[in-house]
Each structure stands twice: as structure tokens, then as C-alpha cells.
């Protein structure tokens, strides 16, 4: 269960007293996610999600996330909406942590997404990128290429305890990424964490996007690369080219990728694998004492990185290469 901070009923009741949500009826921790403490809260007026921001989320960044969700909803993207207290504030404090309540979305996430789900995600991601084009907020991506070496340094001494040769492999790959990282591609607001557990479906219809707490201003195609990593590999870590083709084709139907973006996709996919390999490695080696959280195995992304290192062009992900269109 992804709960780092235990919240008592008494503390939660006092927190909710500042809102017009009715009395607290029940609440429980939410198992998905590893970054924040999340609770499903049932009050007299309905169900809500309470988030206590932990670890990598700085309190000063939370207003950006909340404003972004409001902006995207105003542009037709279905996502949770911040609930403001009686003072008109969406951000408060609970148990010494920044905390916010957002609306509850109906739906469930797909444990075994198929190619159709991947197409729906590709379209939704492109729509989100277009909807965020006129968002005024800016937030630097602290988990992009300049942030990876500091993460590695936190785990380097113990990396080989998980996989022999992991330290040397990461060290070599970081050097290549830092030297060759694409820096002149279209920028905008990206979700940066659009994994299956952050996308809800009702039946086969995508019903909403959640968990915008890594959203930032960065290369739009990097968001696509993150989704290829998150959605298009099988449990044995093999890449499913049909899923990749569907995701990419649905994305470019709504927001076409330039030839430069297509050419950069293998490098961006390597970087996306490195980002999640490193954060998972750090988490795996540094679970806080008493935290009710199950860290995710970094070896999954170590194996995905191996695939990306062999990819020569966007063709390996399911689309024609430069100069042609699907």
C-alpha cells in the first residue's frame, strides 16, 4: 500500500471541517502509486481523493499541479478537479504534509492493456498536449536528463547487489544520454507519469487521466516515449510492436510528430527507461522504515533499457521512419 504518512480519523475529521463536504463516513489508503500517500475518502457529499505530498513533490510545486488540472478540464480533458476549502484554498496541510482533496473519477485501470487501450492512450495524450499548449504555468522537469546522475549517485554503491554489472551499464548509458539528449524539440506541458494505473477506463472507453504530480514543462515527445515504456511491453519485458503502432498512430492522428521528433524517439525512449530505472532503484534501496509501500522492481526497466539500446529508428516502435507517414 502506498501510504507513507498514517492519518488518524481525528486528524482527518479536523482537516475536513474546513470544507463543505459533509461529515467523514469512511476512508482507506489506496494501494496504487509509490510517491505520495493517497486515501479514498467518503463524506456526506460523496467520494474524494485525499493526497498527502511526500518525497519528490515539493510543496511549492503543488499549485502548478492543481492549476493544470483546472486548465485541462476547461479544455475538455477529464481529470480530477481540486476541491477548495471555505477559505478558497485548494492546498492545505495535514499531519505535517502539504495536502489536497480532488474529485473522484469513475473507472478502473487496465491490469493487462491491449492494443485498443494503447490507441486510446495515444489519442488522450495528444489531446492533453494540445489542451496544455496555452497553459501559463511552467515547471522544470527535475527528473529529466540533468537529474539522472544525482539519482544514480544515491544508488551506485549498491546497484550491483540487485543485478551484476548494473552500475557499469548505467554509468555508460548516462554518458551517452547526457551527450546525445535531444534538446531542440517541441516543448509543452507533459504528464510525465502516464502509466496504466493513472488512466481510467469504463469498459473499453477511456474515462479520465489522474495523478498529475509529476507534470512539468518538457519535450512533448518524451511523454510519448514514457507511454511506450509503460504500455507497450509484455510481462516478459518483450516489446509489443502492435501496441506501439496503435499508440503512436492514434497520437499522430491528433498531434502529428515532426521528422525530428520521430528520429529522436529511440533516444527519448532510452531516457524514459533510465528515468524510471533510477527512481525505482533509489526507492528499492531506500524504503522508509514503517512505510506501508511496496517498491517497484527496477529490473523491469533495466531490461526495457536493453531493448531501446538496440532500436535503430522509430520503425522499431511500429511506425515508418523519417520522411514517411503511417
DSSP letters spanning 152-182: HHHHGGGGGGTSTTHHHHHHHHHHHHHHH--
Cell of 143: 527528473
In a domain, 1, yes or no: no
Counting the structural domains of the chain, the total is 2
In a domain, 326, yes or no: no
How far is residue 77's CA from residue 80's CA, in Å, rounded to a whole number? 10
Average pLDDT over residues 153-176: 96
pLDDT in tens, 40-70: 999 999 999 999 988 767 778 889 999 999 9
Q: Are 166 and 160 spatial neighbours (Cβ–Cβ below 8 Å)?
A: yes
How far is residue 179's CA from residue 194's CA, in Å, rounded to a whole number? 26
In a domain, 150, yes or no: yes
pLDDT in tens, 232-274: 999 999 999 999 999 999 999 999 999 999 999 999 999 999 9
- Asked whether residue 179 falls in the same domain as residue 235, the answer is yes
How far is residue 237's CA from residue 229's CA, in Å, rounded to a whole number? 10
The pLDDT assigned to 324 comes to 42
Q: What is the CATH number of the domain that holds 181?
A: 3.90.1200.10
- Asked whether residue 120 falls in the same domain as residue 245, the answer is yes
Cell of 113: 492493456
- Point out the domain boundary residue: 103, 126, 142: 103
The beta strand positions in 213-292, using DSSP E, are 216-219
Q: Which residue range(s) make up the domain with 35?
A: 9-103
The pLDDT assigned to 323 comes to 41
Q: Are 27 and 50 spatial neighbours (Cβ–Cβ below 8 Å)?
A: yes
pLDDT in tens, 93-150: 999 899 999 999 999 999 999 999 999 999 999 999 999 999 999 999 999 999 999 9
Amino acid at each position: 500500500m502506498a501510504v507513507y504518512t498514517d492519518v488518524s480519523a481525528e486528524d482527518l475529521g479536523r482537516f475536513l471541517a474546513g470544507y463543505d463536504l459533509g461529515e467523514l463516513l469512511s476512508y482507506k489508503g489506496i494501494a496504487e502509486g509509490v510517491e505520495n500517500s493517497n486515501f479514498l475518502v467518503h463524506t456526506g457529499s460523496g467520494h474524494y481523493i485525499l493526497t498527502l505530498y511526500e518525497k519528490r513533490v515539493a510543496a511549492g510545486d503543488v499549485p502548478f499541479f492543481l492549476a493544470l488540472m483546472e486548465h485541462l478540464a476547461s479544455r475538455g480533458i477529464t481529470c480530477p478537479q481540486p476541491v477548495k476549502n471555505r477559505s478558497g484554498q485548494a492546498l492545505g496541510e495535514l499531519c505535517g504534509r502539504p495536502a489536497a482533496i480532488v474529485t473522484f473519477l469513475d473507472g478502473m485501470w487496465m491490469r493487462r492493456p491491449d492494443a485498443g487501450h494503447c490507441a486510446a492512450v495515444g489519442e488522450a495524450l495528444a489531446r492533453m498536449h494540445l489542451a496544455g499548449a496555452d497553459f501559463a504555468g511552467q515547471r522544470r522537469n527535475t527528473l529529466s536528463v540533468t537529474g539522472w546522475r544525482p539519482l544514480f549517485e544515491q544508488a551506485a554503491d549498491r546497484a550491483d547487489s540487485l543485478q551484476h554489472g548494473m552500475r557499469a551499464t548505467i554509468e555508460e548509458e548516462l554518458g551517452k544520454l547526457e551527450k546525445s539528449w535531444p534538446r531542440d524539440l517541441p516543448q509543452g506541458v507533459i504528464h510525465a507519469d502516464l502509466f496504466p494505473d493513472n488512466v481510467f477506463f469504463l469498459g473499453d472507453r477511456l474515462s479520465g487521466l489522474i495523478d498529475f504530480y509529476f507534470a512539468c514543462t518538457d519535450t512533448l515527445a518524451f511523454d510519448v516515449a514514457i507511454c511506450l515504456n509503460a504500455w507497450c511491453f509484455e510481462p516478459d519485458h518483450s516489446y509489443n510492436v502492435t501496441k506501439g503502432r496503435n499508440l503512436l498512430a492514434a497520437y499522430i492522428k491528433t498531434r502529428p510528430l515532426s521528422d525530428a521528433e520521430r528520429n529522436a524517439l529511440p533516444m527519448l525512449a532510452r531516457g524514459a527507461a533510465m528515468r524510471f530505472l533510477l527512481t525505482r532503484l533509489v526507492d528499492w534501496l531506500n524504503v522508509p522504515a514503517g512505510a506501508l509501500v511496496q517498491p517497484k522492481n527496477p529490473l523491469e526497466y533495466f531490461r526495457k533499457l536493453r531493448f531501446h539500446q538496440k532500436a535503430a529508428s522509430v520503425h522499431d516502435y511500429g511506425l515508418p521512419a523519417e520522411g514517411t507517414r503511417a
